[in-house]
Amino acid sequence: MAEWSRSIIPIIRGFCLLYVTNKYLGTTVITYGPSMLPTLNITGNLLLVERISTRTGKVQPGDIVIFRSPDTPRKVVCKRLIGMEGDQVTYVVDPNNSDECKTIVVPKGHVWVEGDYIYNSKDSRHFGAIPYGLLEGRAFWTLLPRKDFGSLAPKPR
C-alpha cells in the first residue's frame, strides 16, 4: 500500500463520520431575523439541533424545530411547533390589521409551525401546514450569544 494512501484513509474516515453525524444525529444552525423574538435574537443565535426526534416522531407542540421552507426549498427555517396532525389550531389571520381568528385541523402527515413574534413571521399562517417530512431537527440548546447560553425548553401551550 502506498504511503500517501495510509495517511489519507483516516482523513476520509473522519469526513465520513462528520457527514453521518451532521446528517443523522445533530448539527449546529445559525438563526437570525425577528420571527422568533423574544426567544431568539434578531441578530443571530447559534443553536444545537438534534435530528433523532424528528425521525422517531418524538417532537411535540412547543418545541423549536428547523425545517425546509415550503416556498424556498434551499432555505432552512426555524419556528415553534404549534400543532401535530389531528390537532385543532386557532390562529390570528393577520395580526397587524385585525383580530380575525381561524380554526383549522392539522391534516394527516402535517404539522403547524409559527414564529413567536406573530407580527413579523412567515409561517403556517402564510403557507399552511407543512408536511412532516420537511422537518429536519429540534433545537435544544443555545450556544451563542453567551448571554443566552443554555437550554431551549419547549414553550407550554
Q: State yes or no: is 79 an active-site residue.
A: yes
- Please give the grid coordinates belonging to residue 79: 419556528
Q: Which of 7, 69, 75, 79 is the catalytic position? A: 79
- Give CA separation, 117 vs 35, 41, 42, in Å: 5, 11, 11
**74: exposed, middle or buried (Cβ count in 10 Å: 0-12, 13-18, 19+):** exposed
Cα 157–chain centre separation = 18
Q: Which of 5, 35, 53, 122 is the catalytic position? A: 35
- 76, 29 contact by CB (below 8 A): yes
**47: exposed, middle or buried (Cβ count in 10 Å: 0-12, 13-18, 19+):** buried
State the DSSP string of 98-111: ---EEEEEPPTTEE
Q: State yes or no: is 155 an active-site residue.
A: no
Q: Which residues are catalytic?
A: 35, 79
